[in-house]
Structure 1
Amino acid sequence: MSEFFSQSPVLVTGANGYVASWIVKKLLDAGNTVHATVRDRDNEDKVGHLKAMAASSGGKLCLFNANLLDEGAYDEAILGCEIVFHTASPFVVRGVKDNEKDLLEPAKLGTKNVLDAVNRTETVKRVVLTSSVAAIYGDSEDLQHAGKSAFDETDWNLSSSAVHQPYSYSKTIAEQLAWQMNKGQNRWQLLTINPGLVLGPTLGNTGSESMRIFKDLYDGKLFPAAPDLTFGIVDVRDVAKAHLLAAFTENASGRHITVAGTMSYLDIATVLREHFKDKAKLTPKFTAPKSILWLVAPLFGITRAFISKNVGYKLAFDNSYIQRDLGMKFDDLDKCLIDHFAQVIGTKN
């Protein structure tokens, strides 16, 4: 029997999302009955890939409609479940018109609604929350101020707010609320997965911010020069695996930085040009001067504060805890980048 098999149903919120779809796939392949919540279970464009995965697996898929902001929306889907994966949360960092309505409210109220359902459901024993390294730090310069060589699970984002890095702030307040609610009871255990920039192929039609980042690289929007930004990167398939390890590893606990390594735009571009040759010829080759980026940032909807606090700073993450606690082993990042870019440009490797 698979190490990732549960006799009881398993709930996945936001099941058609980028990361969640891979979680659902792994659960179905292990033979689980998956209670999957989506906004509209009749929208084939959004859920067709989930149905196809179920049809070719040994598991069973049960789709439920649920809206993050609706009280009681998860009560039906959670019935009988021992394990809950809460992945549903907006990932939007560009073009947000109302930070409170589009980011903060869904992240915090959505987490509350799901955990309220957990509190009402006696069968639930463990909750795995999809958080982010955005709840660990807000700006790249934070590492310098922290006086350490790498971020770890003891760090919390103290530099973001509703107006500066609102996405990062939304992930922070959502995770903080989850830990607060967890401490208010003694039946269910909370574990968090805190991934960096998630890359790798998508299973469905649902777009992701990371897919848009790669499209920018392919379209030449960052040619010939890119900002000197460093990202903590992880393969989406590894993020899904980390969730399952967190759910099924008996003595696992706490927060888990889920980052395989760090790369800059130029590092990523180098890998893509070496593998794809001319198909990646519009990827950046130089580093754009920070002073010029600071001047033109508002023209592109980017704050000068973001440029000041992030461009030119190096990042590092200590991922030793997830390796010890969950036995996590990360896949090769070059393969992740190649698989991701191949899907973006519609080619096979």
Structure 2
Amino acid sequence: MVEIDKSKPVMVTGATGYVAGWIVKKLLDEGLTVHAAVRNPNNEEKIKYLKLLAASSKGQIKFFKADLLEKSSYDDAVKNCELVFHTASPFSNRVKDPQKELIDPALEGTRNVLDSVNKSETVKRVVLTSSVAAIMGDTKDLLDIPNRIATEENWNISSSLTHQPYSYSKTLAEKEAWNINEKQNKWDLVVINPTLVLGPGISPAITSESYKLMQQLGDGSMKMGVPDFQIGVVDVRDVAEAHYKAGFTPEAKGRHIVNAESKTFLQIADLVRKNYGDKVILQTKTLPKWVVWLAAPTAGLKRKFVTKNVGYPWTVDNRKSIEKLGIEYRPLEVTVNDFFEQMIDNGAFEKA
């Protein structure tokens, strides 16, 4: 049981990020003081919207310069904090050097943040943004899991540096966080494992991978059809709420799968079509797996990924997040429509 004093500041790493922005907003709306750790606090363009959020809230925000790959760079930001949200981690499925671009920042970043936490005399809890990718690698892995439903007990055992390196980086980073946590007794660790995060961003310039994926879904890039690929989806606002509850629920512990629904790309397209079918180019059919396999290299996919992920049902158990954190998930239709409304307003489909 950990009671967090809300009069003390709360540190958020990667504070300008997609999920982190909503966490910061929630904290500010609750009247807390946020220590926002960012790479360049002098970049007014990137932090201006967070300042505006603070100005219209009951809370306060202070910016601190910190870099995932710099030792001790989080020392100042963590001062006097009882609660830390570590959200910063690289997310990209298209990298040239996965070790340098994904693994090193994820691992070293976790070590550096938690090293600063260990040096602190005040931190009681760390909430880590992990991913369902640390729970399950390939969808085919479900065939070896009881009832073919992934739970918090499962770990990704199929990803590697050469196969799904992003998922591998999230797995290594979370395991490292647990290893560091187990070697001390000053602070506890609570982990959030979201599925694909969708929904409107707080930042006017959204750069998330999910934004790029949904852009492809609606700009005609997939007009020939979409793979029979099922994914879990969750609203970014619900992910932020899960982080907040994980931080301030005294009895919270362990990992939490955060997922609203599991859908195929075609089902997501159907949800968008209801309101925005005249403004985007959406798919109406599913491509045969053999076609996807043949075309994979031209779409930036590896054929091994297609073999192990296309055509399989995708199921996870989200009951812990509902029962222990009290999360009430938004309907996916609301999430998708809010997201596409923002994307259309931002001109994401002007070429469509």
Q: Same fold (TM over 0.5)?
A: yes
The amino acid that maps onto 2:290 is S
Provide the C-alpha distance between the structure 2 equivalents of 1:249 and 1:264, rounded to a whole number of angstroms. Answer: 33
- Pairwise CA distance, 1:343: 0.8
Give deviations 1:48-75, integer Å, cap 9, x for gaps: 1111101111111000111100000100
The amino acid that maps onto 1:8 is K
Provide the C-alpha distance between the structure 2 equivalents of 1:187 and 1:327, rounded to a whole number of angstroms. Answer: 26
Provide the C-alpha distance between the structure 2 equivalents of 1:240 and 1:40, rounded to a whole number of angstroms. Answer: 23
- Pairwise CA distance, 1:277: 2.8
- Pairwise CA distance, 1:13: 0.2
The amino acid that maps onto 1:148 is N
- Using a 3 Å threshold, how does the CA distance of structure 1 residues 63 and 313 change in structure 2: closer, same or farther? same
- Pairwise CA distance, 1:275: 1.6
Aligned partners of 1:4 and 1:27 also within 8 Å: no
Provide the C-alpha distance between the structure 2 equivalents of 1:301 and 1:318, rounded to a whole number of angstroms. Answer: 30
Match of 2:147, SS? coil
Alignment of 1:200-219 (within 5 A): 200-204=199-203, 205-219=205-219
- TM-score under structure 2 normalisation? 0.95
Aligned partners of 1:46 and 1:206 also within 8 Å: no
Are 1:263 and 2:260 counterparts?
no
CA RMSD of aligned residues (A): 1.4
Provide the C-alpha distance between the structure 1 equivalents of 2:195 and 2:132, rounded to a whole number of angstroms. Answer: 5
**2:88 aligned partner:** 88
Match of 1:85, SS? strand
Are 1:314 and 2:297 counterparts?
no
Match of 1:225, SS? coil
- TM-score under structure 1 normalisation? 0.96
Unaligned runs of 5+ in 1: none
The amino acid that maps onto 2:103 is L
Give deviations 1:144-197, integer Å, cap 9, x for gaps: 122423110000000000110000000000000000110001110100000000
**1:12 aligned partner:** 12
- Pairwise CA distance, 1:298: 1.4
- Pairwise CA distance, 1:230: 0.7
Report how many aligned residue pairs link the two structures.
Answer: 344
**2:22 aligned partner:** 22
User: Which stretch shows the higher mean deviation, 133-142 or 221-230?
Assistant: 221-230
Aligned partners of 1:40 and 1:65 also within 8 Å: yes
Provide the C-alpha distance between the structure 2 equivalents of 1:184 and 1:4, rounded to a whole number of angstroms. Answer: 22
The amino acid that maps onto 1:21 is G
Provide the C-alpha distance between the structure 1 equivalents of 2:333 and 2:228, rounded to a whole number of angstroms. Answer: 19
**1:287 aligned partner:** 286
Match of 1:179, SS? helix
The amino acid that maps onto 1:236 is V
- Using a 3 Å threshold, how does the CA distance of structure 1 residues 342 and 277 change in structure 2: closer, same or farther? same
Aligned partners of 1:214 and 1:344 also within 8 Å: no
Are 1:152 and 2:144 counterparts?
no
Provide the C-alpha distance between the structure 2 equivalents of 1:67 and 1:292, rounded to a whole number of angstroms. Answer: 43
Provide the C-alpha distance between the structure 1 equivalents of 2:90 and 2:98, rounded to a whole number of angstroms. Answer: 11
Aligned partners of 2:4 and 2:82 also within 8 Å: no
**1:324 aligned partner:** 323
The amino acid that maps onto 1:99 is P
Match of 2:126, SS? strand
Aligned partners of 1:13 and 1:38 also within 8 Å: yes
Give deviations 1:257-292, integer Å, cap 9, x for gaps: 000110110000101111213113x11110011111
Match of 1:211, SS? helix
Provide the C-alpha distance between the structure 2 equivalents of 1:44 and 1:60, rounded to a whole number of angstroms. Answer: 17
**2:302 aligned partner:** 303
Are 1:138 and 2:123 counterparts?
no
Aligned partners of 1:290 and 1:312 also within 8 Å: yes
Unaligned runs of 5+ in 2: 348-352
The amino acid that maps onto 1:93 is N
Match of 2:77, SS? coil
- Using a 3 Å threshold, how does the CA distance of structure 1 residues 5 and 55 change in structure 2: closer, same or farther? farther
- Pairwise CA distance, 1:99: 0.3
Are 1:339 and 2:338 counterparts?
yes
Aligned partners of 1:5 and 1:30 also within 8 Å: no
Aligned partners of 2:15 and 2:24 also within 8 Å: yes
Aligned partners of 1:5 and 1:32 also within 8 Å: no
Aligned partners of 2:39 and 2:65 also within 8 Å: yes
Question: Percent identical across equivalent pairs?
Answer: 51
The amino acid that maps onto 1:166 is P
